[in-house]
Amino acid sequence: MRIGIVNDMVTATEALRRIVATAPEHQVVWTAVNGAEAVRMCAADLPDLVLMDLIMPEMDGVEATRRIMAETPCPILIVTSSVEDQAARVFAAMGHGALDAIDTPALGSADPQWAARPLLAKIRALNGLTGGVRPAEGRQTAPRRRSGAPLIAIGASAGGPAALAMILETLPRDFPAAIAIVQHIDERFAAGMAGWLAMHSAVPVRIAAEGAVPQAGTALLAGTSDHMVAKAGGRLGYTQRPAEAIYRPSIDVFFDSLCAHWSGEIVGVLLTGMGSDGARGLKALRDAGHHTIAQDRATSAVYGMPKAAAALSAAVEILPLDGIAPALAGLFTQGHRKGGSRWTC
């Protein structure tokens, strides 16, 4: 990968440069000392990945991320001194399209190679996120009448935190369906994201524990780098398989598990994100007779996953972000169990 480094500390920039140099498949193509310079560098020489610090003079990493994703979109990984301490800024940057976040490797570590391993692993994982969507496999599941609890299943990636916050704060407090969310995020930051979303949400938000039973009016967020899945008995859990999945946790794996194990009504929602995760799973939900929604191009911070879903005709509706919560509320208040084709097949 061709990598740009954005950091106002010379020692941090040099350390990151040395780490990247240890992997011969990567190269540093430029460095920038603040967000404004990074915006200019991306316009002049767009890299495959930007390692973006958060706190810098002139323009911080949040605003730089917003500008880059609006003007010259490319994958951005937040690399900052403490993701936990900068959680609000991290989620703001992810809301503008940053893919993930990681702590800056310890500069004074007694074992520099060991300290560099998490960052190199993150870079390798992000290297696969820009692949195209594969054709649908033609799996047609016979629609069946639903008898269990209704569930909103949401998948999101780059730009997802802000999109999720807007949806959750717009839903009515007495929303009659359960909500389950898969957001591409490192498991170390999932609890912080659940707390951040809860501050913006009209319904409670918490991490989905192994064996959790989704409840109406509550949102459960996937909380590990393993894949969240539906299991027998209307419970959620986690699995490491498929181990080779680029996306962790995988939206496709979650949506597929719902097709196999969830007996109630499902509305699948695929939001902003890079790559194609969730597109084939959303198609599987639609083929199984469930209602499906994808975010539109104009309101997506990164129009990758929703675009892939549209290419597969996986979405019954393609909606702007501010139209998704009202559509969900309408489905479960006005249209819920009317006996029309939307719910009974």
Per-residue pLDDT reduced to its tens digit, 286-318: 999 999 999 999 999 999 999 999 999 999 999
pLDDT of residue 159: 93
Which ranges constitute the DSSP H helices of 59-111? 61-71, 87-95
Query: According to the 3-state scheme, what is the secondary structure of 270-284?
Result: ECCECCCCCHHHHHH
Looking at the chain, the domain(s) classified CATH 3.40.50.180 span 148-333
Q: Which class would CATH give 2-126?
A: alpha beta
**Residue 8: how many CB atoms within 10 A of its CB?**
17
167 vs 186: CA distance, rounded Å: 22
Assign residue 275 a region (left: φ > 0; alpha: ψ between -120 and 50; beta: otherwise).
left
- The tokens describing 137, both together, are 């496999």
- Give the 3-state secondary structure of residue 85: coil
Least confident of 137-146, 201-210, 253-262: 137-146
pLDDT of residue 138: 38
Q: What is the mean pLDDT of residues 117-145?
A: 60
Catalytic residues: 157, 184, 277
CATH 3.90.650.10 is the classification of domain 148-333: no
More confident: 133 or 225: 225
273 vs 80: CA distance, rounded Å: 22
DSSP state of 140: -
In the numeric block, the tokens 């539109």 are attached to 296
Looking at the chain, the domain(s) classified CATH 3.40.50.2300 span 2-126
292 vs 228: CA distance, rounded Å: 19
